[in-house]
Amino acid sequence: MSEAATRTVTTPPGLLASLDPLLREWLPRQRWFAGKGRPVTGFSLVAATELLPADARLGLYHLVVRAHQQLAPVPGAPERPGDCYQLLIGVREALPPRLAPALVGHVTQGPLAGRTVYDALYDTRPAEILLEALRTRARVGGLRFDRAPDQEIRDGLVPRLMTAEQSNSSVVYGDTFILKLLRRIVPGVNPDLELPLALAREGCPRVPAPTAWMTTELSGEPWVLGVLQPYVQGAADGWELALRELAKGEDFTAEARALGRATAEVHTALARALPTVTLGHGPLTQLVAGMTERLEEAVHAVPALLPYASGLRSAYTALGDLAAEGRTWTAQRVHGDLHLGQCLRSPSGRWSLIDFEGEPARPMAERRLPQPPVRDIAGMLRSFDYAAHSADPPAPGWAAACRAAYCTGYAEVSGTDPRTDPVLLRAYETDKAVYEVVYEARHRPDWLPVPMSAVRRLAAPDSA
């Protein structure tokens, strides 16, 4: 692999055209496809790299494709370019039964006619090739595989694809490393690599330090494709752990408090590692305007919000009033999409934070903006609420106790309790709950009562 990495690779003409009809059917069925509900009208090839020649028993292509879709007509709205996706396409004469779930289809035309193509991440050999490329710091066509200078990757680690992930794909190598492959990719510096590297330089142990990473450059801009990090063996996902404890009727406040401490440690390290800014009247006015605009759009999309719109809007105007009086807040880089599912508890009881990509639907530039740390805190408080409402029967008292314990733990490390700034906290919680209402109405209507319960609380006159 390391010798092949030094040569220029080419792809056969007509490759995408031969795959197009198969990808139109297969791509929208993937859990990580972001454009569900809108037909795919075609693809354009952004980049293609041959990792294994297709005329061999096993061929392998790395593709970056742009999916073009029909957009709902919105008067005056600019046409949005299609999303770009990273695909690893394996090529075989026929698939063995173990790879049946990976099938993309049988090619009938073009350079791969008569062959079977599939999602190669399900296959051991292609996954091994990626790890070997990272180990050797390979260069294959436009793909760059880099490794932290102080990190070693031994060979012989057996890969397995994790099947539970939603927005990306992850491969675990021998319980030693986990490679997260981004599926919907965008140009620019990706916080999922940028922030863990910054935290590693600060010596923050709460975030697994990147061991290696996979990138490319297109049209003069960097694109992050994947990040390899240590695998926390035996770790429990925070969401699953919370639900298990709830089901057993166990107290979770000690874990919530420890998680608050972990969050504060990460925030403190990020504030040391990267610049902070002061949010005064101008930036706060823009922030409040953005929250208000999202509320108006949400009310239009989900009429159930209408009776609460005035109360919810008051959460934002109260923040704007404080800014007008001269109040300022410090903003810094934050996680950006923090919830229980983004936290891992090791068998020793230590909490780690993962997945610093931010909200995938937001533009990259917005995800990299400094934010008040309370944005992450609000996300975690909402996550406790979700967990409590997933119980049968719902356990609002459990959520209230966890929320309080989390804030207490955060204050023990940061020196500042989020509850001492109720106007800011309410504004960010409201913004998050409004987002949740729209999401659930569109994707999981059965879950809509969960954020609506928060909406009723946050819209009440005494909620601050």
pLDDT digits (tens, 9 = 90+) for 431-445: 999 999 999 998 899
CA dihedral of residues 257, 261, 264, 266 (deg, nearest 10): -130
pTM here is 0.91
The arithmetic mean of pLDDT across residues 47-51, rounded, is: 95
Task: Report the share of the chain in percent with pLDDT over 70.
Answer: 95
pLDDT beyond 50 at 7: no
The arithmetic mean of pLDDT across residues 43-52, rounded, is: 94
For residue 13, give the amino acid letter: P
Tens digit of pLDDT for each residue in 315-330?
999 999 999 999 999 9
Regarding predicted confidence, which is higher, 463 or 224? 224
What is the C-alpha separation between 183 and 88, in angstroms, rounded? 10
Looking at residue 54, its pLDDT comes to: 80
CA angle 44/112/110 to nearest 5° reads: 65
Nearest partner of 133 among 67, 179, 86, 183, judged by Cα: 179
pLDDT beyond 60 at 73: no
Looking at residue 72, its pLDDT comes to: 61
CA atoms within 13 A on the CB side of 232: 21
pLDDT beyond 90 at 6: no
Tens digit of pLDDT for each residue in 154-200?
988 999 999 876 789 999 999 999 999 999 999 999 999 999 999 99
pLDDT beyond 60 at 426: yes
Tens digit of pLDDT for each residue in 265-316?
999 999 999 999 999 999 999 999 999 999 999 999 999 999 999 999 999 9
The arithmetic mean of pLDDT across residues 235-259, rounded, is: 96
DSSP assignment of 266-278, as one string?
A: HHHHHHHHS--EE
Handedness of CA 127, 182, 185, 203 (dihedral sign): negative
What is the C-alpha separation between 69 and 455, in angstroms, rounded? 33
CA dihedral of residues 197, 201, 202, 205 (deg, nearest 10): 60
CA atoms within 13 A on the CB side of 271: 15
pLDDT beyond 80 at 44: yes
Burial of 247 (0-12, 13-18, 19+ CB in 10 A): exposed
The arithmetic mean of pLDDT across residues 360-374, rounded, is: 91
Query: Which H or E element spans position 309?
Result: helix 309-324
Looking at residue 81, its pLDDT comes to: 73
pLDDT beyond 90 at 351: yes
Looking at residue 10, its pLDDT comes to: 59
The CA distances from residue 205 to 147, 185, 212, 269, in Å, are 19, 28, 17, 10
For residue 1, name the pLDDT band (cuts at 50, 70, 90). very low
The CA-to-CA distance between both ends of the chain, in Å, stands at 60
Tens digit of pLDDT for each residue in 107-158?
999 999 999 999 999 999 999 999 999 999 999 999 999 999 888 999 889 9
CB neighbourhood size of 81 (10 A): 9
Structure-token pair, residue 280 = 């005064």
Looking at residue 463, its pLDDT comes to: 65
Burial of 151 (0-12, 13-18, 19+ CB in 10 A): middle
The arithmetic mean of pLDDT across residues 254-258, rounded, is: 98
Looking at residue 309, its pLDDT comes to: 97
Looking at residue 75, its pLDDT comes to: 52
What is the C-alpha separation between 80 and 72, in angstroms, rounded? 11
Burial of 4 (0-12, 13-18, 19+ CB in 10 A): middle
**Do 221 and 190 touch, CB atoms closer than 8 A?**
no
Looking at residue 79, its pLDDT comes to: 53
Nearest partner of 145 among 157, 131, 158, judged by Cα: 131
